[in-house]
Amino acid sequence: MTRSSSALEPAARPGANAALLGGVAFSFVFTGLIWWLGGRLDSVTLLPDQGAAWYRWKLPEPTLATRLSAWVPYLLHQVAVWALIWAAQRQRPAYTAGLHRFNVLALAVNAGFILLHLIQTHVFYDGLAQDVSIFSSQGSVILLLVMVLLMESRRRGLIAGRSAGIPQVAVDVVRRYHGYVFSWAIIYTFWYHPMVSTSGHLIGFVYMFLLMTQSSLSFTRAHLNRAWTATLEVAVLLHGTLVAVGQGNGIWPMFAFGFGAVFLGTQMYGLGWPRWARWSAVAVFAALVALVYSGRGWDRANEIIRIPVIEYGLVFVLAWLIAGGHWLWRRLRPAGTGAATPG
C-alpha cells in the first residue's frame, strides 16, 4: 500500500509542536478544573478502606444507571480511538511537522470524552472501578510501560544500551500494534477512576491527559520527539513517588529509586547523552540512595530493585511470548496468506 498525504497541504497543516504544547496546557488547566470542582463531591458517602485490593472511590449502592454512565462512554471512547488508529494505519502517511486529519479528530475526541467524564462524575460519580479490580487498572499501566521498553529496545537497547537478546520479531509486532494496546491502557484507566480531587487522582489525571495527547499525535514528528517521550516515561517516577508520599505508606523510595534505576539502565541511553553525563547521573543516584538508606536502613535497600526486576522480567516474558506466537502462526497459517513478519 502506498503512502498517502493529508488532505491539507504541508504548509497549511496546523503544527504538531503547537498542538503538543496546547495539549500540555490543556492537561494542566483541565486538572485544575477537576480540583476546583472537587468540593462538590465531598458529600458522596464512601465505604471505609478495606485494604490494598480495595478501591474506595465508588458508590456503596450502585445502580444500573450509574454503571451504564461509565461503561457506555468508555466503550464509545475506546472504539472511536481504535477506529482512528485503524484509519491512520491504512493511510500510512509520512511523519510530518504538521497535523493529519486523524490527529485533529483524535485530539477532539479525547478532549470531548474528558469533558464528558467530568460531567458524568458529577452526575453519577462511579467509574469502571465499581465492576473491575483495581489490579486491572494497575496492570494496564504496567503493560504499557513494559511495551515501551520492548518497543524502544531497537533504538536505545534494553540494558545499558544493549539489546539483551530481545527477538527482533517481538519488537516489530509491538511497534506495529502498540497504538491499540496503549490507547486501551490509557482510556481504560481514565474511565476506571471518577474525577475526584484527591492529590493522587489529580496527579494521575494530568499524566493520562499527557499520554492521550501523545497518542493523538501519531505520524507526526512531535510524536517522535525524544525529549518529550522520555519526559512521559520519567513522569511515572514522579507520579508513583508523589502518590506514595500522599498515601503515607512509607514505600515512596521503591518508586523513586525503582523507576530511577530503570531510567539509568535504559531510558537515558535514548537521549544521546555523552558518557560523562551518564556517569554523573549514576553518581547522583548513588549519593541519593546512600543518603536515604543510611537513615532508612540498608536492610530495606532491596526496594531499589523490585520495580526493575518486575519490568525487565516482564519485557523478556512478553517478548518471547510474542516471538513464540509468531513462530506458531507461521507454522499453522494457510499457504499463500502473505508475509509472515509484521511491517
Confidence of residue 335 (pLDDT cuts 50, 70, 90): low
Residue-level pLDDT at 223: 92
Q: How far apart are CA 164 and CA 162, in angstroms?
A: 6
Residue 34, number of CB atoms within 10 A of its CB: 20
* pLDDT higher than 50, residue 3: no
On whether residue 2 sits in a domain, the answer given is: no
Q: Residues for the chain: how many in total? A: 343
Show the cell assigned to 204: 494521575
* pLDDT higher than 70, residue 84: yes
Q: How far apart are CA 6 and CA 14, in angstroms?
A: 11
* CA end-to-end distance (rounded Å), the chain: 11
Confidence of residue 166 (pLDDT cuts 50, 70, 90): confident
* pLDDT higher than 50, residue 342: no
For residues 215-242, give the mean pLDDT: 90
* pLDDT higher than 60, residue 1: no
On whether residue 341 sits in a domain, the answer given is: no
On whether residue 108 sits in a domain, the answer given is: yes
* pLDDT higher than 60, residue 28: yes
Q: List alpha helices for the chain, DSSP H.
A: 16-37, 64-91, 101-124, 134-151, 153-156, 168-192, 199-216, 226-247, 252-265, 275-296, 303-332
Question: pLDDT exceeding 90 applies to what percent of the chain?
Answer: 59
Lowest-confidence region among 53-67, 158-172, 218-232, 322-336: 322-336
Confidence of residue 48 (pLDDT cuts 50, 70, 90): confident
On whether residue 43 sits in a domain, the answer given is: no
Residue-level pLDDT at 62: 93
Residue-level pLDDT at 340: 44
Residue-level pLDDT at 313: 93
* pLDDT higher than 70, residue 187: yes
Contacts 24+ apart (CB under 8 A), 319-326: 319/150, 319/166, 319/167, 319/170, 319/171, 320/167, 320/170, 322/167, 322/169, 322/170, 322/173, 322/174, 323/167, 323/169, 323/170, 326/169, 326/170, 326/173
Average pLDDT of every residue of the chain: 88
Residue-level pLDDT at 8: 44
Confidence of residue 333 (pLDDT cuts 50, 70, 90): confident
The count of structural domains within the chain is: 1
On whether residue 260 sits in a domain, the answer given is: yes
Residue-level pLDDT at 220: 92
For residues 292-300, give the mean pLDDT: 90
Q: Supply angle C-alpha 275, 281, 283, rounded to 5.
A: 100
| 237-282 pLDDT, tens digit each | 888 888 888 877 788 899 999 999 999 999 999 888 999 999 999 9
Q: How far apart are CA 343 and CA 253, in angstroms?
A: 41
On whether residue 45 sits in a domain, the answer given is: no
For residues 143-167, give the mean pLDDT: 88
Residue-level pLDDT at 155: 86
On whether residue 41 sits in a domain, the answer given is: no
Residue-level pLDDT at 212: 96
On whether residue 51 sits in a domain, the answer given is: no
Give the domain range for residue 292: 23-35+62-329
Q: How far apart are CA 169 and CA 166, in angstroms?
A: 9
Q: How far apart are CA 11 and CA 19, in angstroms?
A: 15
